[in-house]
Amino acid sequence: MKTEFIIAAAKAIQQTILANENTLESLDRAIGDGDHYINMKRGANTIVDIQAELASLAPNEAINKIGLKLLSTIGGASGPLLASFFMAMAKVLRENGDESLLKIAAAFAAGVQAIIQRGKADIGEKTMLDVLIPVSNQFKLLATPNGDIKLICATLINTAEQGMQSTKDLIATKGRAAGLGDRAIGHIDPGAKSCQLMIEAVCKLAMEA
């Protein structure tokens, strides 16, 4: 992993968040508190704004800085959760290195585990974890020394899509939507949608590299 790719990924994420404003706002109005898109946009814009600062850093340092910046930028529940993801990922990259898909997959898994611990949530609770846990599991499974990056990315895009769609039929047990009970059924979780969009954007970028 190179810092140049991290910066390019940040730009790709910003573009996909902005392009899906109506979708994210609609989902959040249905079962959220109405500020998910605003917070995601603020976070995405902030990271792109500091690209000059990130450029001189090692990959693990850049990812840690992203985490710290998100912690102080994004409001609501998303900020601390996403910050935990990046900071945990940075720690594993610093300790293990970033020169192979296996090590990157391990770092991604550590980031997802940090969200699980901080949010005290798991798969099946109508959250971003319904996307992140299956993607992490697939990434660890496929990240072999001879793994085909395009095949891996295509699989992860499909896994993220399936995870996001699965939230439509779930009853929320975490977050604001937890108070809606059965009324949340039929609505996709906005956090899951955001994660699906971000994973798709980064994977497509990796496939083009």
- The CATH number of whichever domain residue 52 belongs to comes to 1.25.40.340
pTM of the model: 0.92
- Is the pLDDT higher at 19 or at 24? 19
Burial category of 62 from C-beta neighbours within 10 Å (exposed 0-12, middle 13-18, buried 19 and up) = buried
Q: What value does the mean pLDDT take over residues 149-167?
A: 96
- Is the pLDDT higher at 75 or at 170? 170
Could you tell me the pLDDT band of residue 54, with boundaries at 50, 70 and 90? Answer: very high
Measured CA angle at 130 (ends 37, 91), to 5 deg: 80
Closest CA to 13 of 36, 37, 44: 44
Residue 26: partners with Cβ closer than 8 Å, 6 or more residues away: none
52 CB neighbour count, 10 Å cutoff: 8
pLDDT reading at 46 higher than 90: yes
Total domains present in the chain: 1
Share of the chain above pLDDT 70, in %: 92
- Rounded Cα distance, 38 and 97, in Å: 34
Could you tell me the pLDDT band of residue 58, with boundaries at 50, 70 and 90? Answer: very high
* Cα end-to-end distance, the chain, whole Å: 11
- Rounded Cα distance, 129 and 122, in Å: 6
Which of 34-38, 101-105, 169-173 holds the top average pLDDT?
A: 101-105
Q: Which of these ranges, 75-89, 138-152, 178-192, has the smallest mean pLDDT?
A: 178-192
Q: Can you give the residue range of the structural domain that contains 110? A: 3-208
